[in-house]
Amino acid sequence: MDQVSDEQCSEAAALLKAHGSERKAARAGGVPRSTFKHRLKRAAERGMLGFKPVLPGFELKRSSAQLDDSGNVQKEWVTQHKESGPAFAMPAGQVLKGVSAFVDGEGRIRHQWIKTRTDSAAPELIGALKAEFEAYRGRARIVPPPKRVERDLMTVYPIADPHIGMLSWRPQTGADYDLKIATERMLDCASAIVAKADRSRAATIVNLGDWYHANDQRNVTPKSKHQLDVDGRWFKVQRAGVQVFRSIIDMALAKHEAVEVVNIPGNHDPEAGAALALALAGFYERNRRVHIAFPADLYYRRFGATLFGAAHGDKLSPARMAMAMAVDQREAWGATAYHWFMFGHIHKDRLDTIGDVRVESFSTIADKDNHAAGGGWRSAQALQAVTLHKRDGELGRQRVNIPPPSMR
């Protein structure tokens, strides 16, 4: 509510008339200039400054004049309205929801209303996961390091699109898939692939995105708003995803001396994937053998003679992945003999060679949802491990296949 009284407004009008300028009038009145200007605007709104153009706090809307036969001004009319406020800035955490407009008979805009909404459920998501793991911060069980490792080797575990929390119904899609199946299958496959992997000193677990099927409890893809079939409450799914990833990290720690964890945001889970990385970073913050990388759209790592990168695959074509690596990693690019780029998103194994860059996508362990089943997308399902040699590049691979639904 405006607290400027009529007496203060009248005094401001009189001081301005007596002294001629706002600065002198404010000094004479013994008030800061900003206070005086505010009182002057209120005086103008209440008609205490007359109607000379242009009043403080107002701006010219329209000006008309009546001329005599000689072209001399006889009368003038000036229409003023309150001046515009500052430029609109989108509030933090808000995105544009829509714009409404009032138009005249010719379709021209007279007024507009900007409607915003909360950007996403990311603050609530991150807050919930932080609260869940606050009691366990830095208390990860210390897995003893392996007694024997090959110091010139690194094992890379690409995990593409497990879509934890997705619901698929066999009569409709040809296979059942839910939260229980997803977590059990991921743990079984991870256990098998880690057991098969070489005893590399270092390991990099690369979540290539879409770890979660849904980003939040609205159960739609954030960008395109496609409706998603989900299993279980939102927080239950998020917690299950973190627990599964912790188990995979612990498996890797039993086999490898140092483990780096990479979480690439997917088109299904951009904020949920970032919150996953946050929860894991808090859990393992006192374990010097684990490094949780910052969750970003692009990831690069050099290991000896090999430079490799990773992305989800929804924003870059294979050719642009190769180009981005060459530009972003100029020094490492020139110092390495082998270049490799991983991505997910398309749910199948595919290899392209762009120059000397092997650009490769990986299969998912997830079954098809209703959209994929109806669209005819089909692919094998598997989890892989790729071993790199510090000098010789890729040394070998291990693979755990998931049989098709008819043979399970």
Q: State in words which class domain 122-407 has.
A: alpha beta
If you compute the radius of gyration of the chain from its CA atoms, what whole number of angstroms results? 32
Query: Is the previous residue joined to 4 through a cis bond, with omega within 30 degrees of 0?
Result: no
Res 5: pLDDT: 87
Res 369: pLDDT: 85
Res 50: pLDDT: 66
Structural contact between residues 67 and 74, judged by C-beta atoms closer than 8 angstroms: yes
Neighbours of 7 (CB within 10 A): 8
Per-residue 3-state assignment (H helix, E strand, C coil) for 131-196 = HHHHCCCCCCCCCCCCCCCEEEEEEEEEECCCCECECECHHHHCCCECHHHHHHHHHHHHHHHHHH
Domain segments of the chain: what residues? 1-85, 122-407
Residue by residue, pLDDT tens for the chain (408 residues) are 457 888 888 888 888 888 888 889 889 988 898 888 888 888 777 777 766 655 666 654 555 667 777 767 667 666 666 655 556 666 655 555 666 766 655 565 656 666 666 555 556 555 665 665 565 565 566 788 898 999 999 999 999 999 999 999 999 999 999 999 999 999 999 999 999 999 999 999 999 999 999 999 999 999 989 999 999 888 899 999 999 999 999 999 999 999 999 999 999 999 999 999 999 999 999 999 999 999 999 999 999 999 999 999 999 999 999 999 999 999 999 999 999 999 999 999 999 999 999 999 999 999 998 888 888 888 889 999 999 999 999 999 999 999 998 888
Encoding tokens for residue 340?
A: 């490799």
Res 323: pLDDT: 97
Res 1: pLDDT: 45
Measured between alpha carbons, how far is 11 from 197 in angstroms, rounded to an integer?
A: 85
Pairing state of beta strands 200-207 and 258-263? parallel
